[in-house]
Each structure stands twice: as C-alpha cells, then as structure tokens.
Structure 1
Amino acid sequence: MKRIIALFLCMIMLVPINVGAQVISEEEVDYSPLPVVGEIEAGVPLNNVKSAVLIDSDSGKLLFSENSDERLPPASITKIMSLILVMEAIENGQFTYETVLTCSDTAAKLGGSQIWLEPGEQMTVNDLLKAVAIVSANDATVLLAEAVAGSEEGFVVLMNSKAKSLGMNNTNFMNATGLDAENHYSTAYDVALMSKELLKHKKITEYTTVWMDTLRGGQSQLVSTNKLVRFYKGCTGLKTGTTADAGYCLSASASRDGLNLVAVVMGADTSPNRFSACQKLLNFGFANYCNKEIKTDENLPETVPVKKGTKKSVTVQKSENYYALIKKNQKDKIKTEVNLPEYVTAPVKKGDKIGEIRILCDGEEIGVLPINANESVYGINIWRSFAILLKYLLTP
C-alpha cells in the first residue's frame, strides 16, 4: 500500500503546475480534441453558421462562399486589422518589439477579454502582441492602437482607410477591439481579405500559432481559444471572436504542401460549430486543390531576330517557374503557349517586353508571364553603320 501511495505522489510531482499563475483567455477554454469531420459537399450549406468563405491566401482565389458578403458583427476578428496596422508600424520603424508602452487609463478601463492591465503598468510591444493574438486582450489592443495613432479614435480612422485600400467594401470599424457597437460590421469575404493581408507579415505567425504562453514573469498564463492551433495539422492561426451580437466567429489559416488557405466563419451558434465548419472548409481545400509548379521556359527560344539593329538577334530572359492554384484532378491538363513575333525592330532595351507566355489549364487561361529582352540592341544609323563597316574592314 505504501508503495502505491508513493508511486501516486511521484506521478503528481511530474505534472507541471504553476500555482500562482492567473489563467487568461477570451472565453472558457475547451481542451478537448477536435471532432473528426469530413469536408464540405457541393451544394450542401454549412449548418449553424450565418456566413462562410474559403480562399487561397496567396492568389486570393475564392474556393467556397456562403452568404460571404452579408454584413455581420465581426467580434474580435476585428483585431486582425488592428494587428495589420501594428505590424506595419513596427516594420516602418515607428517602434520595435522591445519598445515598452505604459498603460493609459482608457486602455485599463476596457471590459471584455483582457489581461487586466493597470493604469501606469508597463509592457513591451512583444508581450502586448502575445496578449492580442492569443487571448484577444482588449486592453492590450487599445494600448497598441494608442501607440500607433495617439488614440483609439485616430486608430479607427487608419483601420477604415486600410480596409478601403484592401477592397473591403462591406466593412466599417467603430473600434479597434470588436466590441459590439452600432455601425461596426464586416463580412466573411472582407475578413478573408484582411486575413490574407496579415499573413503577409511572416512574423505574425510566431504569435498566432501559440497555444499557451505567459506574461509578467509567469504570473499570467495565456491560453488560446483557437483549438485549431493545437489540433489541426498546418494551422497558422488566426483569430477567434465572440460577442452577444456576433455569436461565434473564426478566421482560420493553414498551410500544407505549399498550399495556403484562409477559412472564415461568422455567426456560428456554438463554439464547436465554428471549429467544425472551418475544419470542413480547410479539409475541402486541401483535398481538392494544390499549388502546381509549372516550368515556363521549356519551349522558350534563346533569341529573337532583330531588324534594323546593330545585332541580328536579341537574347531572351529566362522565365521563372510559375505556381498556379489548380484542382488536383487537373494536374495533367496544364499547357504553356509561347507568343513571340517573327522579329523585333531595334532599338530594344534590356527588360523590354517582346512577347508573353500564356498558361492554360484545360484550355482556360490561368496566367500570363511577360517575355523580356535580356540585352539592349541599338538601332542602325549612319554613324553606327560606319563604325560597323570600319570594324569589318580592320578585322584581319
């Protein structure tokens, strides 16, 4: 009996416990694994969500859409735009990841999800980004917004300006956090557009892929509510959101075998349903699409004839291989078509477009690449003609 008790005590000691840590999360965390789900079926709507969309995050190509232009409250997936502006500010040198910010009274008074910042408390931009990306902290979001624009109101102006530049035509922000507010809305498609933009900042996934972390020297434990980060292969984030008006929202990004996808669900009736819906969308994308590398210079001639030039031909730049998003069952239906004139007329400058390569999939054009001159060829005039003749006469 003593041996059994001793063994039990040893097992308890092996479990890491931070007794003093305050667990912070946007909502109650569900630690259970994701249920096994399939993929969406053609013509069959997703259950228990108001809108959904799936895009390729490299090309922006729309792969699935269900009410994706319906204006809805976005909840905390609003913070995707906030993160875009913060990352831009860092990259533009406005501040660094190690810059220490001091919490304002305004930021400290915010409700909803937070890390309980106190007025005057100091925290690095790096830790504040953790708080926003992992637990959707409203106080951290507003503190960062104030650092970028001086106030949350000024930051919202930047948010809406950026939204317009991204083509988010059905979005209007009233705050930086996503707390329910009149005239604060977006759509699944617009959220996908800003998710695509955020993922251009490669470092952001160092924050959005984190399941658990700590702040304040381990005194505050952060736990993500995005179960896909922990359980879905290739998940790179991105952001959950929940409010009374919005219901359960999720922008989920994932990468496999060179294919990068963003799935967005808005207005789900439960948290499990938003994860299941995004799983189905991502599974559909990975099961049916791929990024195929296409060799574009196989039929490309080395030179093109030149008329009225100091050279009889101009060399052609080697074309880079092209990556195209196609359906997996179309892999063998890719063709390239080289379009070049019989000749070009001098003068020709290096880099000038002299033709194009059309990329076709099952007869449909999916891409066009320019064919450029790899050198300059001068046009003939009386002085160049004389120089050429003289060189010819003097050459033994």
Structure 2
Amino acid sequence: MNRRIISTILLLIIWFTIPSIAFAEDELNIQAKSALLMDYHTGEVIYEKNPHEKLPPASVSKIMTLLLGMEALEMGKINLTDQVRISSHAAGMGGSQLWLEEGETQTVEDLFKSITIRSANDASAALAEHIAGSEEIFVKMMNEKAKSLGMKNTSFMNASGLPDENHYVSAYDVALMSVELLKHKQIHNWLTVYMDEILVGKKKDKVQSLVNTNRLIKEYEGTTGIKTGSTKEAGFCLAASAKRGNLQLIAVIMGSETSKIRFDEAMRLLDYGFANYDSITIGKKGDILGKVEVHKGDIPYIEAVLEKDSYILLPKGNSGNISKEILLPEFLESPINEGQEIGQMIVKLDGVEVDRIKLVSKAKADKAGFKEMFKKTLKNFLINK
C-alpha cells in the first residue's frame, strides 16, 4: 500500500514539473522530421524534435562554407576584392547556380553575395577552392571546424550540400554553426539583402539576378538570416534567425514536405520563443568589473573586464533572483598579457550557477625596470615614514 502511495505521488510530481518544452511540443504541432529552437546568446534549447537525428541538409550546409569564409576574411587570408578564377569543377556544379563560366573571374564579395542570397553551388565551390586550394581540402576544414564546435552528428562531403549519402547534419548542429556564423558582423551585410544582381561570364555581358531564397526577411519582423536548403533527398530545410530587443532566436527546420511548411513552422517556433521568453543582459564584453594590484609591474594595477557578453534566458513574467559573484586575486605578479585570464564572474539564478565567464586583463603589464622599482620603493618609504 505504501509503495502505491509513493508511486502515485512520484507520478504527480513528474506530471506537474514537466518543463514548458513539453507543452510546446504538443501545441506547436511541428511536422518536420527534425526541428529546434535555440536562444542565440546562451545556447539554451527552448524546443526540440529529433534534434540529433542525422539528416541531409541540402544548402543549409553552406552555413559552414560561409563561416570558414568569414574566418579567412577576418584573418586576412582572403580579401573581398580578390579576383577568383572559376575552375571547371566550380563551373560544373549542378543545382542552384549562377551559371558561371570556366575561366571567368568573380570577386570574393560577389561570391559571398551569391552564396548568401541565391544559394549558388558554383559560387560555393569557387570560394572553397580560393580559400583552401581545392574543395576536397576545404571539406576537411569544414569537418574539423564542425568537430571544434561540438557538432557530433555532422559529416560534410562538399561545400554546397549536394546529395551524398555520407553528407548529413543534425538540427542541433545546424543551430551551433548558425550561432558561430552570426558572430561575424560582416556576414550581416548580405544575409538580409532581398535582391541584387551581378555580371557573369568571361566578358561580363550577362546579368544574373540574386533573389533571396529566405522569404522570412520580408515576411517576419526582426529576421536576421540565415539559410534555406532543398533537395529531393533532404526535403525543405531552413535555419532562420530573428531578433527582437535583447532576445535573439535560431529556429531550425529539417525535412519538411513543402517550402511553405518549412517557413510556416519556423515562424511558429520563433513566435513561441518571442511570446514566452525574455533575454536578460548581465554584462557586456569589455565591462570593467574590478582591478587587481600588480606586483613589480610598470603599472600599479590591472583592470579586469568581461571576456564576452553574458545573458540569461527567462520565461516571461519570471524575473528570478539573479546574483553575480566576482572572483579576483588580491594581487598579480608581472608580467601580464593583455587578454590574460585573471578572474571569473559567476552568475547565479535563484542561487544556482547558470553561467561562469572569464575576467581578462584589459591591458598589458610588463616588469618594472630598476628606475620604476626605485621610485616605488622611495615613495612607499616616504609615505610610511
């Protein structure tokens, strides 16, 4: 009898403590094979359906191509004005393309535009070859980057997303690489452009119109990207991002039956997130949160700043008890490098740790020379006399 009572109580506890995500799963009625809604700032998953299932992503794969492109651009390995010669391999791509000719040249900037707006496979292959020397080498870079981001259910076989039985990505992994891409400011120059055009061909005598394949940029408030994809094998896929106030969300839809369904279901996920959640800013990258004395340094103290932004995702109407704890040493020995970790900020919600962010040195502190040390010693002697 006691066991029955205990079992009943446990079942009631489980029933009433089911998280809101379960409610969302029932009410949102997402029909795609796989779907996910993630908070951009914290990486917290708000909704999921088969989030780790390996599925063909079609052109959603190009998020990784663009990510590696942005990294190469920011490292100075490539420049927007670079003239890229189109190889026979790039010109021979099928699917969505610009019909680039072998031997013609295009700028890196036009390749970026063509990939983000028109989802051009030939432009993707050309950019991959320009960065790595060959698409095969570039694919190795894609998989290495995926591994470094924690994308555990991903395998890339090409830079464009053309069908291959060994080319797959999970919805959760799509969200991870989407977050990483959106960190690069320059990519936003193209993600929300609806229409553009470029000249193609060896003589640059043909005009190719670029119309964004992501219709949400015109139909959904706050849309910031990202990428569509569709093949017979993949169905209709979408990684969509939108921002309203502090809250920025990423919705991933994989394997929808029609294009309309993928957009409708992405909007449904985003609507749910914006209706039910708030993003609270705890601190911004570079905020000064304290200072530490420097021993035997050429400066008396070092300012400690946040290494990155800090946010908390909360259900609307639930402010919670948010607290911050700053951990810094009493002093530091020189030398100290700029950006060196010197402490931590611990963020707690209702007494439970929800984030821990490094505090880094705002400036560099070298060892003090003989003259500086003599002046400090003399000053301390006179003050304490």
The TM-score normalised by the length of structure 1 is 0.74
Q: Is the 8 A contact 1:98 1:126 kept in 2?
A: yes
Task: Identify if the C-alpha distance between structure 1 residues 281 and 150 changes in structure 2 by more than 3 Å, giving closer, same or farther.
Answer: same
Q: Does 1:46 align with 2:29?
A: yes
Distance apart, 1:281 and its partner CA:
1.4
Q: Does 1:142 align with 2:125?
A: yes
Task: Identify if the C-alpha distance between structure 1 residues 350 and 97 changes in structure 2 by more than 3 Å, giving closer, same or farther.
Answer: closer
AA matched with 1:134: I
Q: Does 1:92 align with 2:80?
A: no
Residue of structure 2 equivalent to 1:232:
220
Q: Does 1:204 align with 2:192?
A: no
Larger radius of gyration: 1
Distance apart, 1:394 and its partner CA:
9.0
Q: What is the number of residues matched between the two proteins? A: 340
Q: Quote the Cα distance in structure 2 between the aligned partners of 1:295 and 1:134.
A: 34
Q: Does 1:123 align with 2:106?
A: yes
Q: Is the 8 A contact 1:340 1:356 kept in 2?
A: yes
Q: Quote the Cα distance in structure 2 between the aligned partners of 1:151 and 1:182.
A: 21
Q: Does 1:331 align with 2:319?
A: yes
Q: Quote the Cα distance in structure 1 between the aligned partners of 2:144 and 2:76.
A: 20
Q: Is the 8 A contact 1:291 1:323 kept in 2?
A: no
Q: Does 1:391 align with 2:359?
A: no
Q: Does 1:271 align with 2:283?
A: no
Identify the range of structure 1 (365-374 vs 328-337) with the bigger mean alpha-carbon deviation. Answer: 365-374
CA deviations 1:341-388 (Å, max 9, x no partner) are 9xx6x7877989998654322332223457899999xxxxxxx9xx79
CA deviations 1:151-208 (Å, max 9, x no partner) are 1111111111111111111100111111111211110001111111111111111111
CA deviations 1:95-137 (Å, max 9, x no partner) are 2111111211111111110011111122111111111111111
From 186, 190, 208, the counterpart of 2:169:
186
Identify the range of structure 1 (195-204 vs 328-337) with the bigger mean alpha-carbon deviation. Answer: 328-337
Q: Is the 8 A contact 1:73 1:180 kept in 2?
A: yes
Residue of structure 1 equivalent to 2:152:
169
Q: Quote the Cα distance in structure 2 between the aligned partners of 1:76 and 1:271.
A: 14
What is the DSSP-based 3-state SS (H/G/I as helix, E as strand, rest coil) of the residue aligned with 1:330?
coil
Q: Does 1:362 align with 2:350?
A: yes
Give the gaps of 5 or more residues in structure 2: 1-20, 200-204, 367-373
- Give the aligned CA root-mean-square deviation in angstroms: 3.8
Q: Quote the Cα distance in structure 1 between the aligned partners of 2:138 and 2:341.
A: 43
Distance apart, 1:253 and its partner CA:
1.0
If asked which structure has higher relative contact order (CA below 8 Å, sep 6+), I would say 1
Distance apart, 1:46 and its partner CA:
3.4
From 272, 276, 279, the counterpart of 1:288:
276
Q: Does 1:223 align with 2:237?
A: no
Q: Quote the Cα distance in structure 1 between the aligned partners of 2:319 and 2:98.
A: 49
Distance apart, 1:230 and its partner CA:
1.1
Percent of matched pairs sharing the same residue: 44
Q: Is the 8 A contact 1:250 1:275 kept in 2?
A: yes
Q: Does 1:253 align with 2:253?
A: no
Q: Is the 8 A contact 1:247 1:270 kept in 2?
A: yes
Q: Quote the Cα distance in structure 2 between the aligned partners of 1:60 and 1:72.
A: 21
What is the DSSP-based 3-state SS (H/G/I as helix, E as strand, rest coil) of the residue aligned with 2:153?
coil
AA matched with 2:224: T
CA deviations 1:275-297 (Å, max 9, x no partner) are 1111111122222222223479x
From 61, 65, 68, the counterpart of 2:48:
65
Identify the range of structure 1 (146-155 vs 53-62) with the bigger mean alpha-carbon deviation. Answer: 53-62
Distance apart, 1:66 and its partner CA:
0.9
What is the DSSP-based 3-state SS (H/G/I as helix, E as strand, rest coil) of the residue aligned with 1:331?
coil
AA matched with 2:64: M
Task: Identify if the C-alpha distance between structure 1 residues 116 and 330 changes in structure 2 by more than 3 Å, giving closer, same or farther.
Answer: same
Q: Is the 8 A contact 1:174 1:184 kept in 2?
A: yes
AA matched with 1:104: S
Task: Identify if the C-alpha distance between structure 1 residues 364 and 158 changes in structure 2 by more than 3 Å, giving closer, same or farther.
Answer: same
CA deviations 1:296-341 (Å, max 9, x no partner) are 9xxxx99999xxx99xxx9996776974222132225323456799
Alignment of 1:26-41 (within 5 A): 41=23
AA matched with 1:189: Y
Residue of structure 1 equivalent to 2:229:
241
Q: Quote the Cα distance in structure 1 between the aligned partners of 2:213 and 2:165.
A: 26
From 63, 77, 85, the counterpart of 1:102:
85
Distance apart, 1:47 and its partner CA:
3.1
